[in-house]
Amino acid sequence: MNTWITRVILAGLVCSGIFAAAAGGYAAGIADEPAAVQADHAFVEAVGKADAAALDRLLDADFTWIDSNGVSHSKAQVLENLPALQNGEVEIQARDYGRAAVVRANRGRVQVLRVWVKRPGAWRLVLYQEVTLAAQAERVATGSSECENPCRTIPFEPQTESERAAIASWQGVMKAMANNDAGAYAPLIADEFTATDTHHTAALTKSERIAQINKQKQTRTNAAPPPLLSARMFDFGETVMMIAREQRAEAKPYFNTRMWVQRDGRWQMLFSFNTRIE
């Protein structure tokens, strides 16, 4: 898949009061950018101007906004009471996955994820999610490798063949993590994978996660994956997204958004994005 990186300067222009003077040059500058990136620019502009009509056109019917405190807002709630946008003026990183696009806007501890889906005639934003990384790494409870939920059964029924395949791939990842099996883990994870977790000080890459699993194997440390409490899934064709609600032992629940892409004959996880519910 193609990868594109661009700069988002619009929110800064809006805030500084010079957007009107720069608008003509901005419009010309994005003419050759992918449509999803143009839609993302438009979203940042609409939030900066509190333009509910523009946001109504840009947000998908299934849109969810999850802020850094783990508060979840529907499209209707966002249009009625617009939350504050984080990192609207920073450089974005974007990846194209056919009918879906993933946009990142990260600065310091604040990480922002935006997922776009191509609907008939236009790109729509289906997810906006924030994570504020921990100032210091937090201890995660360890224990038995027993993993009924989510490794074997989950309280959720996927609706499409692609959703079922993505769930099977995810359960394979969970089993591999429970058993500290890096060999089983690696093929199910995309090379561009990152794990962004409220409990960590930085996002982890695929290689860093594999190193973590190998270290746990060497130290004979087991950490059963947290049970799934509830989930919503979205089938975008080449990709599948799940917004899950999970809870570690003796800890607060959190939203964990994951996305998979069908690649090399299997479904691989693209990211894990975890926001604790305060």
Domain ranges of the chain: 3-132, 161-276
Per-residue pLDDT band at 223 (split at 50, 70, 90): confident
Average pLDDT over residues 176-184: 96
C-alpha span between 193 and 203 (Å, rounded): 10
What mean pLDDT is predicted for residues 204-213? 97
Q: Is the pLDDT of residue 154 over 50?
A: yes
Residue 174 has pLDDT above 70, yes or no: yes
How would residue 1 be classed by pLDDT, with cut points 50, 70 and 90? very low
Measured CA to CA, the distance from residue 223 to residue 139 in angstroms comes to 12
Q: Do domains 3-132 and 161-276 have the same CATH topology?
A: yes
Residue 32 confidence class, pLDDT cut points 50, 70, 90? low
Run of H or E including 213: helix 206-218
CA proximity to 116, closest of 195, 193, 43, 11: 43
DSSP codes of every residue in 143-183: ------TTTT--S----SHHHHHHHHHHHHHHHHHHTT-HH
pLDDT for 29 beyond 50: no
Listing from the earlier edge strand, what are the strands of the sheet with 239-247?
204-205, 189-197, 266-276, 253-263, 239-247, 228-235
Tokens of 164: 């079922």
Length of the chain: 278
CATH (residue range 3-132):
3.10.450.50
Q: Note the pLDDT tens digit of each residue in 225-245.
A: 999 999 999 999 999 999 999
Residue 273's nearest CA partner among 33, 70, 47, 121 is 70
| The CA-based dihedral angle spanning residues 89, 111, 61, 46, taken in that order and rounded to the nearest 10 degrees | -10
* DSSP E strands, 151-265: 189-197, 204-205, 228-235, 239-247, 253-263
Q: Are strands 100-107 and 266-276 parallel, antiparallel or unpaired?
A: unpaired
The confidence band for 222, taking pLDDT boundaries of 50, 70 and 90, is confident
Which pLDDT does position 145 carry in this prediction?
Answer: 66
CATH top-level class for 161-276?
alpha beta
CB neighbour list of residue 154: distance below 8 Å, 6 or more residues apart: 167, 171, 228, 231
Mean pLDDT (the chain) is 88
